[in-house]
Amino acid sequence: MEKTIKAAIIEDDKKQVLFLQNLLKRFGKEIEIIGTANNVDDGINLIENIKPELVFLDVELGDRTCFDILQAIKNLSFKIIFTTGFEKYAARAFEFAALDYLIKPINPLRLQESVARFKEMQSLSDDSLNILLESINEEVRRIKVETTNGFAIIKVNEIIRFEIKEDLVHLILANREVKRLIKPLNYFEELLGDLHFVRVHDKHLINLHFVTEYKTKFKDQGIEYKSRSGFVFFKDGTFLEISVRKKDLFLEKTRKWIKS
């Protein structure tokens, strides 16, 4: 028989609390709700007093946020499933943090997946919290990427580009290190698309911070290169040809990035 998961709900909307409680009843004795709170101070007291194993944590709690709770708790021995109504902002932040989240209104099947994932998650470490807090700043600093032999925590400002090669996405870093990733290029395009990254080819996603030039023709070692869509050059001396379909997107994203 599986051990009962002792869980808490911290949510400032009473209707959302009741809705989540009803959904969790479907798990029977697998999950026991041992306490709820609707603000930051009560949330801190709840966690410190009842010491839950799992916390369903709303992002915005009145005029404060769940991060006020996380920074106040000394022993982060519990696991977290975030709940939020702000998909574009929060979903990306929590994906960067490698933690699970649920978008309101909560989908029962998605909740089931989250609970299953919870069983495999490690306790929230100080490093995980730092990654999470950094992820909601204006500029995301680090992401966690799954590799063919594990995972890596990568600084975003050290990524030159992503490239599809041999049916895998290769991550090229400023120190010339290359990591072979499991997830598809579309995943990283969506994850980083609101930042200074742009897809310039079906096989290439680049970081504009490392771009030095754009040319439609040039010579290299006596060889003349021409392209109506153009070439993009990087600080490490490499260059890529932009696809015809992606040229306008690249030029527009570059204009916006320079103005920002």
Q: How far is CA 216 from the centre of its chain?
A: 35
Q: Which phi and psi angles does 183 have, rounded to 5°?
A: -75, 155
| Average pLDDT score over the chain | 85
Average pLDDT over residues 100-110: 83
In 89-128, which positions are buried (b, 16+ CB within 10 angstroms) versus exposed (e)?
ebbbbbbbbbbbbbebebeeeebeebbeebeebeebeeeb
Q: Domain 5-135: give its CATH superfamily.
A: Response regulator (3.40.50.2300)
pLDDT at 128: 60
d(CA 83, CA 18): 14
User: CATH 2.40.50.1020: which residues of the chain?
Assistant: 145-259
Average pLDDT over residues 199-217: 96
Confidence grade of residue 134 (pLDDT, cut at 50, 70, 90): low
Check whether domain 145-259 has CATH 2.40.50.140, yes or no: no
User: CATH 3.40.50.2300: which residues of the chain?
Assistant: 5-135
Model-wide pTM > 0.75: no
Confidence grade of residue 94 (pLDDT, cut at 50, 70, 90): low
Average pLDDT over residues 4-32: 93
pLDDT at 92: 54
Confidence grade of residue 191 (pLDDT, cut at 50, 70, 90): confident
